[in-house]
Chain A
Amino acid sequence: MTQPLVVFDNVVKHFGSFQAVECMNLEIYKGEFVAIMGSSGCGKTTTLRMLAGLEKPSKGEIRLNGERINDLYSWERETPLVWQNLALFPFLNVIENVEFGLKMRGMAKAERRKKALLWLERLGLEEFAERDISQLSGGQKQRVALARSLVTEPPILLLDEPLSALDANLSVRMQSVLTGLQKDLGITFVYVTHSQSEAFAMADRVVIMSRGRVEQIGSPQEVFREPHNRFVAEFVGGKNILVGTVTALGDASLVRVSSEHGEFQARLPDGKTVVPGDRVTVCLSAEHVDLSVQASRPNRLACTVVGEEFIGSMVNIHLEAKDGLELQVQKMHADYDQLGIRSGQQLFAEWDAESALILRGE
């Protein structure tokens, strides 16, 4: 295994009595696209700022290329950050903004102009070189900020919700610009966002944080298919959560679970063991639940349709079981039309035993 580019080794950060990050352990490798996500106040930005040298860890060690960087000032490390509000220099024009990092490193004027121009070309900004920052559109400013950070050819680029100010279309376009750049350059991107869609679309690995703690680290697929705990399941969305007690162990990884909503089978994730009597939390993806008028499978709940919402090509159907448990089911439009569902209708929500996953961390 190669040496990780960045290591967070039991890093703690508190501001006064507020624990912003508690015990962060994370390894980031060369050429990886890592997204750190969570809702606001979860410590994701603090984590990024510690890496950028803008906050000092209270405890623990951050290493870059194997060297402790805790005590290095921001200007002593090669960890450029793309700011959420971009923080471009308003009194400098586009090319002067891009040159800034080179100028601070003492590069001669002619040389840094040339380099900055190359980056402007690369990002399709060469015609704006002499423009004022205030004359640019949001997307153009974004690319200036990228060029400004990349011009010094750093081994890593930090991004703090850079797309949050853009409209949805532009944001998707910038996502492909970012992933393209990251692949071409082969450098590490650490991307902080509260948007699950951004993180899942771009990242090789995602780090999900809540209240200063890392809840799960893994590829988007892993996190989506096998959330470790209830927080992650709810955060990635489209999940139904059922709580119950293990009544019997079955063949392979299937166990019987008894809940107040009824009895059903659920699957254990690899490496987790339970004994009868254990409390477990079961996660059921909305897209794995089928609806039928006639009960046909053993794992089912009798429900009433309470509402639908249309999201792009999908429909989210909201159900309520007899005891008030809310379930959501996701279907393609075509399937939804075939079912001919209407509000208030009684039907069965059914699923395969394999689809009901017992959460590892609960």
Chain B
Amino acid sequence: MNEHRLINLLLRGYVVLVFIFIFTPIAGSFVFSFNVDRFPSLPLGGFSLRWYEAIAADPAVWEAFRNSLVVGLVVSLVSTLLGFTAAYTDFRYHFFGKSIYMALALLPPTIPVVIMGLAMLAFLSRVGLSGDLHSVVISHIVMCAPFAMAVIRMRLAQMDPNIEAAAWNLGASQWKAMRYVILPFAAPSVFAALLVTMAVSFDEFAVAWFVSGLNETVPVRILNTLQGQVSPTINAIGTIVFITTMTLVVVAQLLLMRRQKPMDA
């Protein structure tokens, strides 16, 4: 049994190392965002909120957050709607070429973002839609809808297909069955999809950089700041972005794990 304990210990150690590997840079950024010194060095100089004050005073950062928020809201609503309809199509219908349809629907996240960004820029400028905030919205919807579909599809896969037919059989039209049966059942995954897509959009840099023109989102602002100077304000912005994204993802995860409670329909 001692051997087992040893293996157990090693595995635990390995997991801890992986997490350290992943989170050290982020933690570093977090710690240095509160450091008074101009350059990140040890030992720490002392606690300070000056970098947060600096970004609070920078109108470009405010503008970037406003842009990210607008884009995130619109993207999460539209891509969740698209994702839901695609997931429902998969749940409900069987048709020729369905596997190809599903593969195409899930494709966008597998395309390298630089290629995606270039393609989006080429396409949007050709149709005269590039260089504006809605360019970012359109591109992000393309990238986020598959995530929404994947999340909602997992939930619908747990649903007994007879339940919808049972609703019809009890007098619910297809719309009513959607309203009173499918949507309540899928609700946790729909909320999760709203949050996940917002998080993906909020984080996304490459495509936004290509198509946004002068309308910077937060990640684009970070890069532009970095190109000009190495400023600890980056750490402050990074910390805010990280906390925002993590909150969205964790809440989404909680929604998906929560035991389905009866709700008053």
A-chain residues with CB within 8 Å of residue B263 when the two chains form the complex = 91-92
**Would you give the shortest CB distance from A158 to chain B, in whole angstroms?**
9
Q: Are A96 and B169 in contact (CB under 8 A)?
A: no
List A residues 73-120 near B (Cβ within 8 Å): 73-75, 79-81, 83, 85, 87-93, 96, 100-101, 103-105
Interface check B162, CB cutoff 8 A: yes
Q: Which residues from chain A contact B169 at a C-beta distance below 8 Å?
A: 52-54, 74-75, 79-81
**CB contact between A104 and one of B172, B184, B260 (< 8 Å): that residue:** B172
What count of chain A residues pass the 8 Å CB interface test?
Answer: 28
Q: Are A80 and B170 in contact (CB under 8 A)?
A: yes
The residues in B between 165 and 184 inclusive whose CB is less than 8 angstroms from any CB of A are 165-173, 176, 180-181, 184
Chain B contact residues: over half helix, strand or loop, or mixed? helix
Task: List A contacts of B166 (CB < 8 A).
Answer: 81, 83, 87-89
Q: What residues of A have a CB within 8 angstroms of the CB of B264 in the complex?
A: 96
Bound-state CA distance A18–B160 (Å) is: 25
Say yes or no: A75 contacts B173, CB within 8 Å.
Answer: yes
B 223-265 to A, binary, CB cutoff 8 A, 1 in contact else 0: 0000000000000000000000000000000000000101111
Whether B52 sits at the interface, judged by CB under 8 Å, is no
B181: which A residues are within 8 A, CB to CB? 89
In the complex, the number of residue pairs spanning A and B with C-beta atoms less than 8 Å apart equals 74
* Interface residue? B163 (CB, 8 A): yes
With A74-B165, A96-B265 as contacts: A91 and B170 at CB distance below 8 Å: no
Given A85-B160, A96-B265, A132-B262, CB of A90 within 8 Å of CB of B185: yes
Binary CB contact string for chain A from 101 to 144 against chain B (1 if under 8 A, 0 otherwise): 10111000000000000000000000000001000000000000
- Whole-angstrom distance between the Cβ of A53 and the nearest chain B Cβ: 7
Query: In the complex, A357 Cα to B263 Cα: how many Å?
Result: 61
Task: Give CA–CA (A87, B185) in the complex, Å.
Answer: 13
Verify if A304 is at the interface (C-beta below 8 Å from B).
no
Chain A, 162-185, CB within 8 A of any chain B CB: none
* Complex CA distance for A152 and B265, rounded to whole angstroms: 19
A148-B170 in contact (CB<8A) = yes
Residues of A within 8 A of B265 (CB): 91-92, 96, 103
Task: Tell me the minimal C-beta distance from A73 to chain B in angstroms.
Answer: 7
A48-89: CB near B (< 8 Å → 1, else 0) gives 000011100000000000000000011100011101010111
Say whether, besides A74-B165, A83-B166, A91-B184, A104 and B171 are in contact (CB < 8 Å): yes
Instruction: Give complex CA distance A211, B178 in Å.
Output: 36
User: Given A54-B165, A85-B160, A87-B163, does the pair A152, B262 have CB atoms closer than 8 Å?
Assistant: no
What's the minimum C-beta distance from B114 to chain A, rounded to whole angstroms?
A: 43
Tell whether, in the assembled complex, residue A149 and residue B262 are in contact, meaning their CB atoms are under 8 Å apart: no
B169, B172, B263, B264: residue with the most chain A Cβ atoms closer than 10 Å: B169
Name B171's contact: one of A85, A101, A132 (CB within 8 Å): A101
The minimal Cβ–Cβ distance linking A324 to chain B, given in whole angstroms, is 47
Tell me the minimal C-beta distance from A131 to chain B in angstroms: 9
Residue in contact with A87 in the complex, picked from B165, B171, B176, CB distance below 8 Å = B165
In the assembled complex, which residues on chain A have CB atoms less than 8 Å from the CB atom of B184?
A: 91-92
Q: What is the CA–CA distance of A308 and B263 in the complex, to the nearest angstrom?
A: 57
Give every chain A residue within 8 A of B160 (Cβ-Cβ): 85, 87
List, sorted by A's number, 21 A–B pairs whose CB atoms are closer than 8 Å: A52-B169, A54-B165, A54-B169, A73-B173, A74-B169, A75-B168, A81-B169, A87-B162, A91-B184, A91-B260, A91-B265, A92-B262, A92-B265, A93-B262, A100-B180, A101-B171, A104-B171, A104-B172, A104-B180, A105-B171, A132-B262
Supplied contacts A54-B169, A101-B170, A149-B170, 15 more A-B pairs, CB within 8 Å: A53-B168, A54-B165, A75-B168, A75-B170, A80-B169, A80-B170, A83-B162, A87-B160, A88-B166, A90-B163, A103-B265, A104-B170, A104-B171, A105-B171, A152-B170
| Chain A interface residues (CB < 8 Å from chain B) | 52-54, 73-75, 79-81, 83, 85, 87-93, 96, 100-101, 103-105, 132, 148-149, 152
List the interface of chain B (C-beta within 8 A of A).
Answer: 160, 162-163, 165-173, 176, 180-181, 184-185, 260, 262-265
